Structure 1
Amino acid sequence: MGGSSSVESLLHQTDLPYSAQIMAVLLPPKFKVPQIDMYDRSKDPVDHLENFKAQTTFHGFQGEIACQAFPLTLKWTITGWFGTLKPKSIDNFEELAKQFLTQFMPSRRQRCPAAYVLTVKQKEDENLKTHLALFNKERLTTNEQDEKITLAALLEGVWLCSPFMEELARRTSSTLREFMDKADDFVSVEDTLQALLDPCKEDTKFEQKNKQADKKGKPSRRERAREGRSDRNLRLVHNNLSVQEEERERETRHPIKMGSRYCKYHQRGSH
């Protein structure tokens, strides 16, 4: 008893929260789910929502289609929240986005104030291209991107002894666009010089390796002395062997006679 009522309650829980107006709109025949990373609570919900909006705007989806497609970008661990929404409570995509942000607001990444970019400074051993890449990365973590603050941070962040500072000293950039144009030209020159210097560096490294190899190939004084001693020892052994062989040949040519008047010194039978 009560089994049918339990099943009916489960069926009601699985009802979509869309109004009749949204459900009346059919998906296009060639509809594809937006190609974005599925949300799993580990990232900023605002970033996920902005990526989804950019995809739907690019493909020209209507608000009703965006409502129906949005749950498909959530992982199964998050779709439980979507099932808790009341049936027919969502009339447009703005309402769905509001419910989404309200639920996952604790997962939002805390952003830095706009003045944080003033702390980004170019290091002594850091070229302008690397510095600008790091600056743009840190700039994206701020709450707002004020052009005046960004320009001031870029002008103050350049290393004082940098060659690019000479370009800025000739004519100070009054707008962010003007600064970026100067920086882009300077980076292009740096890349060209680097491309020209790389082959020279490779040749220098190759010559150094050859010199090291030559030094390793030449024997040291101790090694030469050791080789000289070994050569002398080999000559002595060879000479001793030669003397022994000559004595054996002499004995074979003049066999020793055991007579009473035989002289070993003159090797004959009489004096």
Structure 2
Amino acid sequence: MAGMEELCQQNQTLQAQVQDLTRNHRRDAYPLQTAPEFQPFSEAIAVVEIPESLRTLVLDSYDGTTDPREHLAIFNTKMLINGATEQLKCKLFPGTLKNGALTWFSSLPPRSIVTFSDFSQHFLSQFSAKQANQITSASLFNIRQKSGESLKNYLFRFTNVFMQARNKDPTICTEAFENGLSAGPFNEDLPIRHAQSLDEIRKRAAPFIIQEESNRLKADRDKEERARHQTNQPRRTDPFTDRGNL
């Protein structure tokens, strides 16, 4: 009997060791991935620090159910009085949002806020009551990424429309987004593992948007360098023309 108890104990110890090895293998094979940090501001805006005098400024809040123009007018008036720059307005305005308005802001693509003018226009478009009553599920499937439109802009535009839709079913949202996406790296990535929500789409799109922006900047740089090179090229002379000028 003692031998059987010792054998059972050894068997339990062995099972525990196998379970530990299995867990370690899974952890090594499938390392945990942290979600990209939410950063909707451009790099130029992100580095701007809010002065202490504006940190304690009391601002009216907005939940997405009232007139967005009135809220924006009140905000702009306070910013004018306090001498806030356009970049500071971008940093301070999200602090006035709550409920549905804050949810909209939290869904913005990374680095999509470049100027306060564009930011405020997207805000006004988003919370227009007239538009909110016109968005249906069929409208979402009619959205297409335009020729030459960046992934960032398409995601921004789709998000604006989706947040106005009466039916915010996540399945309809992800299918409509993928339906309107143009051919490209992100379009090839999404079908491999279909997204379950717009938030997942936004997170998975982040590295593709960064890569796209990097390629665009390098293409612009190369274009400028070619233009400078052509400008610095010595002018070719025509021997017949030059002979006539002698």
Q: TM-score range by the shorter chain?
A: 0.3 to 0.5
TM-score, normalisation: structure 2: 0.44
TM-score, normalisation: structure 1: 0.41
Larger Rg, first or second structure (1 or 2): 1
